[in-house]
Amino acid sequence: MRVRRDFPETLFVEPALITDADGNATLQIPLADSITTWRVSALANSAGGLLGSGDSGIRVFQDFFVDIDFPATLTRGDEFHVPVAVYNYLDAPQVVTLTVQDGDWFSLLGDGVIQLPLEAGEVAGVRIPVRVERVGLHDLTIIAQGGDLADGVARTVLVEPDGQKIEGVVSGALQDVVEHTV
């Protein structure tokens, strides 16, 4: 099983694709780990100056997967519940085992292994209590095993130091002395 960890906002940009004489071109697009429908937009112009455009989509889907919904940032010392969603789009019910992989940046405040029964076509969520211990950019990885299928996801979160951030700007001319007391 491969852990999904590549979740860019923009999948691919090619600003200067040249076609053959018939107007055809081939691209190899590296796909990300996002389970979504990617919007494909194309803009083109001919050698004679004619313009054209088109929109379509690339659907990326799997019948069974897990996802983590992190906030943009956390603060060292936070105690919160990580929202985890499990998607069972299979035709059969299954009992899913969720396993939180250990990390040195957080402490689990509950069980690191959770059993979750899911009906066919059901989406369910659990909340995993943690305490944030270390500042930095960190991954949380969760493995979901259900029947014959498994999925793993790693999401990244920025952990800020505790305290209050205060920003300011001091300016002056280079030939003068500029002083500012903090």
Give the tens place of pLDDT for each residue, 126-142: 999 999 999 999 999 99
pLDDT score, position 48 = 87
Q: Assign 157 a pLDDT band (cuts: 50, 70, 90).
A: very high
pLDDT score, position 90 = 95
Six-digit token string for 130: 């943690």
- The Cα–Cα gap between 67 and 18 comes to 38
172, 132 contact by CB (below 8 A): no
- The Cα–Cα gap between 86 and 68 comes to 9
> What does the chain come to in residues?
182
Residue 162 pLDDT more than 90? no
Q: What is the mean pLDDT of residues 96-117?
A: 96
120, 91 contact by CB (below 8 A): yes
- Collapse the DSSP code of 60 into the 3-class scheme (helix H, G, I; strand E, B; otherwise coil) and give the result: coil
Q: Assign 170 a pLDDT band (cuts: 50, 70, 90).
A: confident
Q: Assign 111 a pLDDT band (cuts: 50, 70, 90).
A: very high
pLDDT score, position 119 = 96
pLDDT score, position 125 = 95
- The Cα–Cα gap between 1 and 56 comes to 30
